[in-house]
Each structure stands twice: as C-alpha cells, then as structure tokens.
Copies of this chain bind each other. A is one copy, B any other.
Amino acid sequence: MNAYKQLVERHEEIATLSSCAALLSWDQETYMPAKAVTYRAKQRAYLSQQSHMLTTAPEVAKWLDDCGPCADDTIEDANVRWWRHAHARATKLPTDLVGAIEEATSLAVNAWQDALAKDDFGLFQPHLQTIIDHNRRKTDLWGYEESPYDALLEEYERGARASQLSSLFGELRPELVSIVEQAVAQSKSKPAKSLKGDYPIPAQQAFNREVCEAFGFDNEAGRIDTTTHPFCSRVAPHDTRLTTRYDETDFTSSLFGVLHETGHGLYEQGLCQECFAQPQGTSVSLGIHESQSRLWENQVGRSADFWNHWLPVAAKHFPHLANWTPEEMTRAVNQAALTFIRVEADEVTYDLHIMLRFEIEKQLIEGNLKVQDLPEQWNATFKDLTGLEVTNNVVGCLQDIHWSIGALGYFPTYSLGNLNAAQLFEAALAQTPSLNGDLAQGQYASLLVWLKSNVHQHGCRYLPNTLMEKATGRTTGSEAYLKHLRSRYLTG
C-alpha cells in the first residue's frame, strides 16, 4: 500500500473514534442521565487518548514524508498538506503538557462556575493564570512569527493573524459604533410591537422544522433536540444533529436558534460525506462555519423577504399572530440595544462584544495584561466601546465559558463569521440573478447550491482567506457587512 493510502486508512480509524466521541458529547448534552457524568468523562478521555496515539504514531511521520512535495492543487495534495500541519502541531505538544492542560481546564471550569455563581473573580483568577501559562507554553512550542496569539488563532482559523484582525476591527469599529448609536436610538424612539404571547412548544417545533426543511436541511440525515445552549454537531457521515431551546412566551428564541444551527448543519451536510475522515470532508475553520450559521440566521432569517413569506405560516402555528404584518414582524426581530451579555446581543451590537474579548485575550497572551487586572481592563474597554458601566463581573468578564476551557483565540472567529456571511451573501446575490426572487418566494435551493459549490464542497482544500477570495473575489473584509448593517438598521 502506498503512503497516501496508509494515511487515508489511519485517518478512517481516527474518524471512527472521533465520531464515537462526538456521539458521547451529543448524548451528554441531550439525554444522558445526570449520574453518568463521571464515567462519561472517562470514556471521552480514553477515546481522545487513543486518537492522539494514532495521530502522532511514528509511522504517520514516515507516511507523511513519503508523500513528497505536494505542491499541486489536487485534493490529495491538499489533504496531505493539511495532515502535515495537524501532525506537526500535535507532535509538538509533549504528553505531559496535554495532560496538564486537560486537568487544568477541568478544574478551571468548576472554578469558573463557582466564581460566576458567587460573582467572585478571585475564585477563578489562579485557574485562569494557569491556563494562560499553559497556553503561552503552547505558543512557544508551536511557534509564531509576529504574536504568540497567532499560534492559538491557528487552531480555529488557519492563516489568520492578530495583526490582520487588529486592522479589520480597526476599520470596522468607528463605522460600527456610529451604526449602533443610530440603530439603538431608532429602536428606542419607535419601539416594535411586543412578541410576548403563548407559544406552545410542539407548535414551535413544527414551525421550526418546516423552515429548517425549506432551507434544505435533510432530517433523515439529522435531527433537532433541546439543550440549554444550542449547538450543531456532525456525529458521523449523514448524521448532523442540531439543538435549540424554547421560550414559551416568545417563539423567535427557538426559531433563530434553529436557523443559526441549521446554517451550521447545512455546511456539515454539504461536505463530502464519503470523505468524512479526510480534510476534504471536514469544515475548514470556525470563521467559515460561523459565516454559514449567521448567513441563514441573519441575512436570510431576519430579512423582510423572509417574513413576507413565513409570517402566514407562523400564524397557522400561532393563531394570535394573525393580526401582525410582515413589516411589524421584521422590525420586531431587528431591534437594537446595548446590553452586557454577548450571547443575548443583537446582530448590530454583537461585534462590540467580540472586539472587547479579542483585545483582552491578546493582551493576556502577549503579556501586556496581568490576570489580576482583567476585570478592571474589561470594564474600562467595555465602557469605551458601549458607554455602559459594568457593575459586576457576572455581566462582565465572568460571563463566558471559553477561557475556562482553554479556548483562547476562539472569540474573533464569531466576528469573522459575521463579515464572511455578509460578503458571501453579497457574492451569491451578484452571481445568481434569480436569487432575490427565489428568496421572496421562500425558495432556498439556489442559495444552497451556491454555498455548496463555493464553500461546502471544498472542505479544507483551501485556507479560509483563499476560499473567500475564490468565492467572493477578495479576502475577508468589513465592506459588505457594514453595507448590510446600514441598509438593515438605518432605513427604518
């Protein structure tokens, strides 16, 4: 067998283990009995340890070497390049550091929950310090050219650099702040009709499913369950699972949860299912993934076109919506307000929350901010961005789980997702003359076809910025996004 085939086989074995692990995680969030949690951790640790062993085994290095230069644009070359990158990163981390990080994060998550419950940053501070220290050791082992932060970013967004993000955000910020000010003022002066009402969960489920299937999600190769925090997980080929949560007084909470996760799910279903075990069959980055969820949630789901088509359907499921107009509904789901919590932020203010986190975590990793000074720095930066005064750390620097699980460099991919979503949607509209008309009629096939052929089907064949360039003619920028926000929020 040649080296490439050996690599394919090895990664099939690794993918089998990972897909078992994915089911264990999904089950843990959805149906697992509470008392099963200790053994579940043991199962997951075992599977990840087996995967790591298979990934870093000496024969893999040899097979990768034997594959030669791989400078061409073939799928095989792209797979080998991707495997080499992943293999180099995995083998650079000594086993003791991997174990230490696992232990530190499992302690840190508990400490973070405790700190959040008691609004006591001090309980979390030493754990966060350990996590920062481990991550700085990681950046040294992985290596970087400009900022140690780049080495962490690379885990979520290959090719992204702190300097590039800084200039993107620098470009975005002044315009965004001005749009936010106007949008918030408009929402305040002309408040939308209240959505509060009685929305039985089975009716919400039926409506959500109808929209989700209209978008093109294949429910024979996926499903929708209920969890506190919505997510999408591809468990295996032809097995992509979404979740949402229900508010019986407001159907839009579960709906936009489903639309967002459906966007992720359509990406997973649009990947080559037969190459599940290869980079070619895997999503390329978080910034591209989030572009898919944001596009279906925001560009599509919060548009006037969407509600022109779907309000009458919604009114069948929720009879008291019969006296709403599509315009009223569109306004109701596009209200802007400055608030403290990222996960509750609306479309237009969301990126301010990300800019804050990016600044903070970059400074922490670059050594320009001490962990003990984090709350103060958070509050000052937040005030600078929003004008709001953070009065406690629960609505401030303790609100997110990310740092406690060791995820540094993750946050900016949310904003990359927003920028990419607008840029991809603009390109799809420009390249598909029928698209505007299709969307007005609740027809989504042409949009999905465009996304599949320009994004999904490529898997990891191109790095994110190359993918964006091929699909839209340019790398990720803020132009299309600002245009989208202006046209949505400043014309009311």
Q: Which of B16, B32, B219 contacts A42 (CB under 8 A)?
A: B16
Q: Are A46 and B239 in contact (CB under 8 A)?
A: no
Q: Are A238 and B36 in contact (CB under 8 A)?
A: yes
Cβ-closest chain B residue relative to A30: B31
| Binary contact readout A219-247 vs B (1 if CB under 8 angstroms, 0 otherwise) | 11111010000000001111101000000
In whole angstroms, how far apart are the Cα atoms of A19 and B238 in the complex? 23
Q: What is the number of residues of chain A that contact chain B, defined by CB distance less than 8 Å?
A: 34
| Chain B residues, CB < 8 A from A441 | none
Query: CB of A213 within 8 A of chain B?
Result: no
In whole angstroms, how far apart are the Cα atoms of A223 and B34 in the complex? 10
In whole angstroms, how far apart are the Cα atoms of A13 and B42 in the complex? 10
| Chain B residues, CB < 8 A from A237 | 36, 38-39
In whole angstroms, how far apart are the Cα atoms of A33 and B236 in the complex? 10
Q: Are B39 and A239 in contact (CB under 8 A)?
A: yes
Q: Are B43 and A239 in contact (CB under 8 A)?
A: no
Query: CB of A64 within 8 A of chain B?
Result: no
In whole angstroms, how far apart are the Cα atoms of A398 and B47 in the complex? 41
Query: CB of A345 within 8 A of chain B?
Result: no
| Copies of the protein in its oligomer | 2
Choose the segment among A20-28, A379-387, A424-432 that binds chain B (4+ C-beta atoms closer than 8 Å).
A20-28
Cβ-closest chain B residue relative to A221: B35
Q: Which of B20, B34, B221, B223 contacts A220 (CB under 8 A)?
A: B34
Query: CB of A218 within 8 A of chain B?
Result: yes
Q: Are B35 and A27 in contact (CB under 8 A)?
A: no
Q: Which of B24, B38, B219, B239 contacts A23 (CB under 8 A)?
A: B24
Query: CB of A40 within 8 A of chain B?
Result: yes
Q: Are B42 and A238 in contact (CB under 8 A)?
A: no
Q: Which of B16, B219, B222, B225 contacts A46 (CB under 8 A)?
A: B16
In whole angstroms, how far apart are the Cα atoms of A46 and B237 in the complex? 16
Q: Which of B13, B238, B276 contacts A33 (CB under 8 A)?
A: B238
Cβ-closest chain B residue relative to A42: B16
Shortest A293–chain B CB gap in Å is 20
Q: Which of B32, B218, B220 contacts A239 (CB under 8 A)?
A: B32
Q: A39-B237, A236-B40 known; A223 and B33 CB under 8 Å? A: yes
Cβ-closest chain B residue relative to A238: B35
Q: Are B220 and A39 in contact (CB under 8 A)?
A: no
Q: A33-B222, A220-B34, A223-B31 known; A43 and B13 CB under 8 Å? A: no
Cβ-closest chain B residue relative to A46: B16
Shortest A50–chain B CB gap in Å is 9
| Chain B residues, CB < 8 A from A35 | 218, 220-221, 238-239
In whole angstroms, how far apart are the Cα atoms of A468 and B236 in the complex? 45
In whole angstroms, how far apart are the Cα atoms of A35 and B276 in the complex? 14
| Chain B residues, CB < 8 A from A20 | 20, 24, 43, 47
| Chain B residues, CB < 8 A from A225 | 31
Q: A24-B23, A27-B23 known; A235 and B16 CB under 8 Å? A: no
User: Other CB < 8 Å A-B pairs besides A33-B221, A36-B239, 7 of them?
Assistant: A13-B46, A16-B42, A19-B43, A33-B223, A35-B238, A36-B221, A40-B239
What 3 A-B pairs have minimum CB-CB distances, sorted nearest first? A36-B239, A35-B238, A35-B221
Q: Which residues of A contact B (CB under 8 A)?
A: 13, 16, 19-20, 23-24, 27, 31-36, 38-40, 42-43, 46-47, 218-223, 225, 235-239, 241, 276
